[in-house]
């Protein structure tokens, strides 16, 4: 019998527990089940400068975070997920507002005539190889891991996760190969000892 089909009879909290234990099919089913709720919440936060699909994507990130942070003794999952989705959307819109205001300021600046504006990162979910689920997992992983890394190590990991080669990291951060490799290996050890099983599976699947 198809695993996902057999899970459809389970209560939401049971699915969350299974997802937290490492069952990806349970997470997939939760995303499917709560997708309409994410769309509904996203529609409340629509803004002219924000693409609706971007809002939905960020709402899904909030939903997936809710799955991993949920504790059954704190109340029902649905209300917890709703709050998490709203929080993620508010953060996203705050980011967009700041970027919009900065762009307006730059447009009035003499420097903007000659300086090319750099590409924005941070809340970009347009990369073809980055799924919404993996982006949410990445945010959760970094929230859990950063406390175990120095500022320099966080910089190294940030570049490594975003696809920079060891050589590029060496040149950009003025560190040697050994420092980069040791930091990456340290990061992997922390992830494998501190992070939930399903997060590890998704994070390292690519």
Give residue 151's pLDDT.
Answer: 93
Q: Where are the domains of the chain?
A: 1-116, 131-206
CATH class of 131-206: mainly alpha
pTM: 0.59
Express each pLDDT in 177-196 by its tens digit: 999 999 999 988 888 787 76
Give residue 205's pLDDT.
Answer: 54
Q: What angle do CA 68, 44, 88 make, to 5 degrees?
A: 30
Show the DSSP H helices in 115-196 as ranges: 132-145, 151-161, 166-173, 177-194
Phi-psi group of 42: left, alpha or beta (phi > 0 → left; psi -120 to 50 → alpha; rest → beta): alpha
In 3D space, the residue among 94, 95, 97, 79 whose CA is nearest the CA of residue 41 turns out to be: 79
Q: What percentage of the chain exceeds 70 in pLDDT?
A: 73
Question: First vs last Cα of the chain: how many Å apart?
Answer: 28
CATH class of 1-116: mainly alpha
Ranking 12-16, 120-124, 129-133, 145-149 by mean pLDDT, the lowest is 120-124
In 3D space, the residue among 26, 61, 23 whose CA is nearest the CA of residue 41 turns out to be: 61
């Amino acid at each position: 019998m198809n695993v996902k089909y057999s899970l459809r009879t389970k209560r939401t909290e049971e699915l969350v527990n299974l997802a937290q234990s490492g069952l990806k099919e349970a997470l997939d089913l939760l995303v499917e089940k709560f997708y309409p709720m994410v769309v509904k919440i996203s529609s409340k936060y629509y803004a002219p400068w924000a693409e609706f699909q971007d809002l939905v994507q960020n709402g899904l990130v909030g939903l997936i975070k809710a799955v991993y942070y949920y504790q059954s003794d704190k109340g029902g999952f649905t209300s917890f997920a709703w709050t998490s989705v709203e929080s993620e959307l508010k953060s996203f819109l705050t980011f967009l507002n700041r970027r919009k205001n900065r762009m307006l300021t730059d447009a009035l600046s003499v420097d903007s005539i000659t300086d090319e504006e750099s590409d924005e990162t941070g809340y970009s979910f347009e990369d073809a190889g980055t799924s919404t689920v993996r982006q949410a997992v990445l945010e959760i992983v970094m929230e859990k891991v950063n406390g175990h890394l120095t500022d320099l190590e966080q910089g190294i990991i940030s570049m490594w996760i975003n696809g920079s080669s060891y050589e590029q990291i060496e040149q950009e951060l003025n560190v040697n190969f050994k420092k980069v490799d040791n930091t990456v290996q340290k990061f992997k050890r922390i992830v494998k000892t501190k992070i939930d099983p399903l997060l590890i599976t998704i994070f390292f699947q690519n």
